[in-house]
Structure 1
Amino acid sequence: MKIEDYELLLKLNEIGTIRGTAKAVLISQPAVTQRLKYIEGYFEQPIFIRTSKSLVLTPAGELILKHAEKVMEGERDLMNSLAESSKEVQGTLSIACSSLVSQRYLPSILAEYTKEYPKVAIDLVTGISEDIKKDHKNYHVCIIRGEKLKESVSERLFEDPLYIFDTEPFPKNKLKERPLISFKSDDSMHELVDNWLYYHQSQLKPEKTIRVDQIETCKQFMKQGLGMAVLPKSVSDSMMDEYPNISLKLEGKPVTRDTWLCYQEGVRKLPQVDKFITELLRQEFI
C-alpha cells in the first residue's frame, strides 16, 4: 500500500462518490474505481458498499479508514519532525483559508513565499470560516473571518468595514424598498447584516432576498441592478466612486468583519510555518 492509496480512501469517504472523488483528485473515474478494487483486494475485504447515491463504509471499511487516518497522521508527524530538525526551510505548510482572503490576498503572498522557500509544499484548503473552524486542528495555519478561535493563538490581520451598495441612490428621508442580494457566508456575517437592518428598518426594507453562492456573483448581480448588496471594503473598494453606497454603522461606529490568523501553540517551531506567519503579519491588507 502506498501513501496515495490511504489518501484516496480518505477522500472517497469524505466526498462519498467515485465521480466526485475523481474530479477532486484530477484523475479519471475508471482509474479511481480500479485503484479502489486493488486496495480492497489487498485487504481482502470490501471497504465501501456502492449505493445509487453514495459510498457507504462496511464494518471492515471503518477499521481500514481508522488505520488510514493513523498512517496519514504518522506521515505528517514525521514530515514535520524532519522539517523542524532541518536547517533548510522545507516540508509541508498546510493552510485553511477563508475564500475571500484566498482570492484577494493569498495568491501574491504565496507567490513571494514559494519564491523564497521553493522546497516547501503548500497544502491549501479554502471555504467559509464556519467549516474551517470545525477542522482547524488539521492545519498548521487558519485564516478565518468573524469570530476568532478561542482555543488557538489568534492574531487579528485586519478589520474590514461593511458597505451596502446599489445601482439606485439611497434617499435620506424616504424608505427604500429593494431586493437584498446575499452571498454564502458564515452565520456571524448574516447576523451583522440582519442586526444592522433591524436598526435601520425605517430607512431600508428588503423586499426579498436573492441568495447566491459566491461574493463575486453577488457583486455582478448588484451591478446589473437586481438589488442591494452588503459587501466588505476589501472586495469593493474599486466600486466606491462608481455605485451609490452607505457605510454600515451602529451607534456611530463602523460595522466590521475581523480577519484572524489562528494557529496551535508550538506550531511555530516548524520553520516553514514560522516563516509564513511572519510574512502574513508583515502584510498591509486594507
Structure 2
Amino acid sequence: MFPKVELNVDTGFSTEMMDLLVDGQIDVAIVRGDYNWSDGKYLLSEENVCIIANEPIDVKKLPQMPMINRKEPKVLLKYKTSPYNPFEQSVEYWWNQRFIEPPIVTMQVDSYETCKEMVKKGLGYAIIPSVFLKQTDDLYNAPLIFKNGQEMKRRTWMYYREESMSLATVAEFVRYMKNS
C-alpha cells in the first residue's frame, strides 16, 4: 500500500522490546504478557493456559506428580522492564489457590516445545499456553481455571507511544494492526 515507506522491524524477547519502547528507541512494541504501560495499547490476542499430560490426570494429585517447568532464559535478567503480571506469577497464584505444598519440579527447560516433548515421553506434566498445542500432539490438556471461575489467559499486546501517532507511518501501522 505504501511502496516508499521503509519499515524497520526488530525482534526479541518481550522484555527487550519493552525496554526499547520505554527508552524511546522504538515507537511500537508487540509483546506477550501484561506490562505496566500507561500510554497507547491494544489487545491483539489472548490464549488459554493449560495443563498438559500424556494421559488424563486428576488435578488434585498434581502435588505428587513430576512437573516439567519452562523457565525464563537467564538473559532476561539484564532487562530493566519486567511484566506486571508475568506468566510464572499467574501460575504460582493458581497453584497457591489449590495447594499447600509446592510442585515437584523434576525438569527445568528453556522452551515450551521442549516441555511438550518431555510430556509426550511420559516424564511428567507441564503448564503451557495453548498456542503451543497442535491436535497432532495427542496430549491431554485442560485449561487452568482460577477459584473465581475465570480461565487463566496469556495476552499479546501492541503498546505504542501516543505522541508517535503524529507520524503517518506509525499511525497507519497501528490502524492496520487494530483492523487485522
- The reply to whether TM is greater than 0.5 is yes
TM range (shorter): 0.7 to 0.9
Shift of the 234–255 alpha-carbon distance from structure 1 to 2, 3 Å rule, reads same
| Structure having the higher Rg | 1
Shift of the 130–173 alpha-carbon distance from structure 1 to 2, 3 Å rule, reads closer
Query: Once the 2 structures are TM-superposed, how far is the Cα of residue 174 of structure 1 from its aligned partner?
Result: 4.3
The structure where helix makes up a greater share of residues is 1
TM-score (norm 1): 0.51
Structure having greater relative contact order (Cα 8 Å, sep ≥ 6): 2
Q: Distance in 1 between matches of 2:170 and 2:67?
A: 44
Any idea what SS the aligned residue of 2:7 has? strand
User: C-alpha offsets along residues 140-187 of structure 1, whole Å, 9 cap, x if unaligned?
Assistant: 211122224423211222222211111132126645512222142766
- Aligned match for 2:113, one of 213, 216, 226: 216
Q: Which residue of 1 aligns with 2:12?
A: 127
Q: How does 1:153-164 map to 2 (within 5 A)?
A: 153-164=40-51
In structure 2, list runs of 5 or more residues that go unmatched.
74-81
The total of aligned residue pairs comes to 166
Q: Distance in 2 between matches of 1:248 and 1:172?
A: 10
| Amino-acid identity (%) | 27
Letter of the 1:191 partner, please give it: Q
- The answer to whether the Cα contact below 8 Å between 2:70 and 2:111 also exists between their aligned partners in 1 is no
Query: Once the 2 structures are TM-superposed, how far is the Cα of residue 272 of structure 1 from its aligned partner?
Result: 2.3
Shift of the 198–131 alpha-carbon distance from structure 1 to 2, 3 Å rule, reads same
Moved more, 141-150 or 246-255: 141-150
Shift of the 129–142 alpha-carbon distance from structure 1 to 2, 3 Å rule, reads same
- The answer to whether the Cα contact below 8 Å between 1:145 and 1:257 also exists between their aligned partners in 2 is yes
Any idea what SS the aligned residue of 1:143 has? strand
Q: Which residue of 1 aligns with 2:142?
A: 246
Q: Which residue of 1 aligns with 2:67?
A: 179
Moved over 6 A (4+): none
In structure 1, list runs of 5 or more residues that go unmatched.
1-115
Q: Which residue of 2 aligns with 1:255?
A: 152
Query: Once the 2 structures are TM-superposed, how far is the Cα of residue 197 of structure 1 from its aligned partner?
Result: 1.5
TM-score (norm 2): 0.76
Q: Which residue of 2 aligns with 1:138?
A: 25
Query: Once the 2 structures are TM-superposed, how far is the Cα of residue 244 of structure 1 from its aligned partner?
Result: 1.0
- Aligned match for 1:192, one of 62, 65, 90: 90
Letter of the 1:184 partner, please give it: E
- The answer to whether the Cα contact below 8 Å between 1:177 and 1:205 also exists between their aligned partners in 2 is no
- The answer to whether the Cα contact below 8 Å between 2:52 and 2:126 also exists between their aligned partners in 1 is yes
Shift of the 131–211 alpha-carbon distance from structure 1 to 2, 3 Å rule, reads farther
- The answer to whether the Cα contact below 8 Å between 1:153 and 1:265 also exists between their aligned partners in 2 is yes
Q: Distance in 1 between matches of 2:118 and 2:39?
A: 37
